[in-house]
């Protein structure tokens, strides 16, 4: 589904991604863990083609992503750590992606209501999206991404700073997305969450992918000393 070869990305003097080689299979939940500044968000932005100015090669479903950024963006959608809401109602926020695809009328209404109900926010449909709590905003952001039925969801710390109830709802949504065959790339600093949700995990440090493996194996017997230090530090300190 996603193949990155030798991908590097700089922001001025800062090298946010260094020679990243990574393959993500269709239908898997792929976690990216690492400390703040490790390059997780930049990696998700490249996968979502919000960053197009990078070196190396990115192939999405057999097509060169850099030559077809709009095509990739129609199939890969990113949910940001700090959800941005349009200055309108929850319903219209969620409906936006459908409207720009030319979907209107009863089909639009049905699809939006279904996804709002799935995330437990149907009663907020007419509310001003900018006035919601952090957890509600994040659920709207996920609903907005879910409704467009993309192939890949790049979720950047989707439950950071949320209460337990919102975390439970969002994790259920991720599991449901996986059941529907969606590919999920999940950037998180929460190792427990990565263990709970993902099939495979990559550990990043200073813009590099240090190690990639089956989640269980990577957490129980990491091959790289840096991965082991990170996992032990986070889980047992």
Partner 1 sequence: MAWEYIAEGVAGALRLVLSGNPELFDIAFRSIRVSGIAAMLAAIIGIPIGVVMGLSRFRGRSLVKSVFNAMLGIPTVVMGLILYLFLAPAGPLGSLGLLYTEMGISFGQMLLILPIVVSFTASSIESVEGEIRDLVLTLGAGRLQAMIKTVEEAISGIILSVIAAFNRAIAELGIALMVGGNIFVRGGEMNTRVLTTSIQMYVARGEIEFAIALGTVLLAIVFAVTALSNYLQRKWVSL
Q: Which residues bind partner 1 (CB under 8 A)?
A: 48, 50, 70, 73-74, 76-78, 80, 84, 86-89, 96-97, 100-101, 128, 130, 144-145, 148, 150
Considering the complex, state which of residue 7 and residue 76 has its C-beta at the smaller distance from partner 1.
Answer: 76
Considering the complex, state which of residue 77 and residue 193 has its C-beta at the smaller distance from partner 1.
Answer: 77
The answer to whether 86 and 96 are in contact (CB under 8 A) is yes
Considering the complex, state which of residue 74 and residue 196 has its C-beta at the smaller distance from partner 1.
Answer: 74
Considering the complex, state which of residue 182 and residue 195 has its C-beta at the smaller distance from partner 1.
Answer: 182
CA-CA distance, 75 to 90, in Å (whole number)?
Answer: 23
CB of 128 to partner 1, least distance (A): 5
3-state secondary structure at position 21: strand
CB of 182 to partner 1, least distance (A): 15
CB of 129 to partner 1, least distance (A): 9
Q: Which tokens in the block code for residue 216?
A: 């269980």
CA-CA distance, 93 to 99, in Å (whole number)?
Answer: 10
Cβ–Cβ contacts within 10 Å for residue 76, how many? Answer: 24
CB of 56 to partner 1, least distance (A): 21
Considering the complex, state which of residue 29 and residue 49 has its C-beta at the smaller distance from partner 1.
Answer: 49
Q: Which tokens in the block code for residue 31?
A: 């976690």
Element (H, E) at 116: helix 105-118
The answer to whether 18 and 205 are in contact (CB under 8 A) is no
CA-CA distance, 119 to 136, in Å (whole number)?
Answer: 9
CB of 154 to partner 1, least distance (A): 8
């Amino acid at each position: 589904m996603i193949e990155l070869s030798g991908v590097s990305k700089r922001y001025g003097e800062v090298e946010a991604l260094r020679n990243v080689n990574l393959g993500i299979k269709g239908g898997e939940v792929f976690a990216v863990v690492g400390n703040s500044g490790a390059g997780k968000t930049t990696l998700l932005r490249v996968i979502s083609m919000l960053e197009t100015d990078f070196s190396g090669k990115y192939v999405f479903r057999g097509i060169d992503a850099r030559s077809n950024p709009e095509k990739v963006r129609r199939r890969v959608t990113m949910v940001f750590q700090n959800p941005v809401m349009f200055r309108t109602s929850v319903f219209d926020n969620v409906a936006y992606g459908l409207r720009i695809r030319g979907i209107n009328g009863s089909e639009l209404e049905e699809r939006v209501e279904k996804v709002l109900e799935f995330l437990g926010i149907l009663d907020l449909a007419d509310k001003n999206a900018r006035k919601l709590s952090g957890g509600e905003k994040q659920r709207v952001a996920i609903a907005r991404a879910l409704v467009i039925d993309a192939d890949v969801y790049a979720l950047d710390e989707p439950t950071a700073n949320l209460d337990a109830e919102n975390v439970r709802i969002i994790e259920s949504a991720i599991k449901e997305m996986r059941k529907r065959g969606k590919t999920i790339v999940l950037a998180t600093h929460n190792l427990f969450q990565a263990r709970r949700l993902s099939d495979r995990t990559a550990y990043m440090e200073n813009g590099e992918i240090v190690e990639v493996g089956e989640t269980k194996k990577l957490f129980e017997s990491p091959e790289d000393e840096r991965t082991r230090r990170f996992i032990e530090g986070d889980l047992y300190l």
